[in-house]
Amino acid sequence: MLDIAAAVLVLTALLAWANQRWLKLPTTIGVMATSLVLSLALVALDAAGVAVGLHSREQALVGAIDFSQLLMQGMLSLLLFAGALHVDVQALRDYRWQVGVLAFVGTAASTVLIGVALWGALALLGLAVPPIACLLFGALISPTDPIAVIGMLKSGGAPRNLEVVIAGESLFNDGVGVVLFTLLLEMALEGGAPTASHAALLLAREAGGGLLYGWGLGYATCRLLRGVGAPSVAALVTLAAVVGGYTLANHLHVSGPLAMVVVGLMVGNDRRAIADDAGGHLGVFWELVDDILNAVLFVLVGMEVVTLRFPLGPAAALVASAAAIVIALAARWLTVGLPVALARRASRLPAGARERRADLGRPARRHLDRARAGPAGRALARDAGRADLRRRRVRDPGAGADVRPPGAGHGAQRRLSATCGAAAWRHGHAVRLSRARAWDNRSLDNDTRPSRGPEGTDHDFR
């Protein structure tokens, strides 16, 4: 087992480095693409009679890993908790009904559409697949990956409230997808469809029990974290809550994924529990766990191609794969994209970045363009994002105090904050913070540092 873990970690590190060095893709997408290309290259070399031993060794490595057990019992709980830890519940509460409908109804409808369409497409190709197997594939592929989606939204400059809605929907549809998959798998193992009462009872026990259990576990975890000043102890408490709580949820036959989402939301938004974590060590720890596990997971996904055996020829297999991709994307658009587009005003969902930008005047657009230039401004903007955006206050991490910048009460500044949301204003003020900090450092070198107030902030803040 140690040899397998070492080989997977080394391979993941090398592929992540190559992606960061040359491809410049998001880490999860880059490592999966490179591992997939590497696996296909080994298959091609083996077919040509070159490097036969490498292909067999990769098959032995992948075959020794129980992928389902590793994902469902090992990685899933950690990934869901880490993703929910950074979601703003106050902002999510404004869109709770929209997120609930998209996550529960949208995922269930997508599962049915994908299952029915895939069953018909495979039948046209001459492959007789049971309908329950196609529905299982639908439940497996309908949930979205919140990490990849959030990364794309941030790189595209999407508004903060749009990120909150999509992140919340992605996290909850993961849990809903697991519940649907469990229900369908039980149907497949029993060899028949359960009665409506039995299905409703199973759904209520899995989903309702998971939410209630997650609330109790999250409350207990928050109580333990209050007063804990050591970052290592706080990380250990949350790690034990996730691993131990997920294991106990499996024994109680409730939804562990939904429970971990609830625990992550409660811990990440409990101010008294996070107040002692002044340096943000807990968030950094779980970001690292999230990034590493996602990289390892997607490398394994790319390597799994060497273990697949298709009952069709190569051409038919490619056609079936392309049909599955098109069906999954079309089902996602029909169950989420089209209803949101048709009922934009009724659903009161946030507009996209392009629509928000079109509402801005020319000075505001120039301000937003200057704010997005340079990594220093973006880094400071991420730090400033933890502040109270409703009151347009930002937190200066260097000074350690809340600072209300000059001009925040002017009409133009208020219109900019209200029109393009907190993100545009936050980016702009981050640039001003960067300039003020650079000026402050030069003043310190020349022994002309301005007087500082009791909170540690400059009176002469520019």
Three-state SS annotation for the chain: CHHHHHHHHHHHHHHHHHHHHHHCCCHHHHHHHHHHHHHHHHHHHHHCCCCHHHHHHHHHHHHCCCHHHHHHHHHHHHHHHHHHCCCCHHHHHCCHHHHHHHHHHHHHHHHHHHHHHHHHHHHHCCCCCCHHHHHHHHHHHCCCCHHHHHHHHHHCCCCHHHHHHHHHHHHHHHHHHHHHHHHHHHHHHHCCCCCHHHHHHHHHHHHHHHHHHHHHHHHHHHHHHCCCCCHHHHHHHHHHHHHHHHHHHHHHCCCHHHHHHHHHHHHHHCHHHHCCCCCCHHHHHHHHHHHHHHHHHHHHHHHHHHHCCCCCCHHHHHHHHHHHHHHHHHHHHHHHHHHHHHCHHHHCCCCCHHHHHHCCCHHHHHHHHHHHCCHHHHHHHHHHCCCCHHHCCEEECCCCEEECCCCCCCHHHHHHHHHCHHHHHHHHHHHHHHHHHHHHHHHHHCCCCCCECCCCCECCCC
Domain boundary among 316, 331, 351: 351
317 and 186 together in one domain:
yes
83 and 180 together in one domain:
yes
127 and 168 together in one domain:
yes
Condensed to tens digits (0 to 9), the pLDDT of residues 151-177 reads: 676 666 677 777 788 888 888 888 888
pLDDT at site 374: 45
271 and 316 together in one domain:
no
Amino acid at 100: G
pLDDT band at 262 (very low <50, low <70, confident <90, very high): very high
Stretch 266-276: mean pLDDT, rounded?
A: 80
Least confident of 5-9, 53-57, 153-157, 253-257: 153-157
pLDDT at site 150: 65
- C-alpha neighbours within 13 Å on the C-beta side of residue 318: 2
19 assigned to some structural domain: no
In this prediction, what percent of the chain has a pLDDT beyond 90? 28
Q: How many angstroms separate the CA atoms of 107 and 122, rounded? A: 22
Q: Supply angle C-alpha 258, 263, 267, rounded to 5.
A: 155
76 and 189 together in one domain:
yes
Q: Supply angle C-alpha 250, 254, 258, rounded to 5.
A: 100
Structure tokens at 126: 């001459």
pLDDT band at 114 (very low <50, low <70, confident <90, very high): very high
> Is the pLDDT reported for residue 413 higher than 70?
no
Condensed to tens digits (0 to 9), the pLDDT of residues 13-32 reads: 999 999 999 998 878 888 98
CB 209 within 8 A of CB 258: no
Look over the chain and give the mean of its residue pLDDT values, rounded to a whole number. 76
148 assigned to some structural domain: yes
pLDDT at site 363: 43
51 assigned to some structural domain: no
pLDDT at site 178: 82
**Residue 347 belongs to what domain range?**
72-193+308-351
pLDDT at site 183: 83
pLDDT at site 138: 95
236 and 365 together in one domain:
no
189 and 208 together in one domain:
no
Contacts of 325 (CB under 8 A, 6+ apart): none
pLDDT at site 461: 34
Condensed to tens digits (0 to 9), the pLDDT of residues 331-366 reads: 999 998 888 888 777 767 776 655 444 444 444 444
pLDDT at site 418: 42
pLDDT at site 98: 85
232 assigned to some structural domain: yes
Domain boundary among 317, 351, 385: 351
322 assigned to some structural domain: yes
Of residues 292 and 395, the one with the higher pLDDT is: 292
153 and 126 together in one domain:
yes
Structure tokens at 378: 């973006």
106 and 171 together in one domain:
yes
> Is the pLDDT reported for residue 133 higher than 80?
yes
Stretch 408-423: mean pLDDT, rounded?
A: 42
329 and 395 together in one domain:
no
168 assigned to some structural domain: yes
320 assigned to some structural domain: yes
State the total domains in the chain: 3
Stretch 264-282: mean pLDDT, rounded?
A: 79
225 assigned to some structural domain: yes
189 and 336 together in one domain:
yes
Condensed to tens digits (0 to 9), the pLDDT of residues 38-81 reads: 988 888 888 888 877 888 888 888 888 888 888 888 898 998 89
pLDDT band at 194 (very low <50, low <70, confident <90, very high): low
Stretch 235-246: mean pLDDT, rounded?
A: 95
Buried b (16+ CB within 10 A) or exposed e, 338-361: ebbeeeeeebebbbebeebbeebe
Which residue, chain included where needed, has tokens 């990364």? 151
pLDDT at site 428: 52
147 and 235 together in one domain:
no
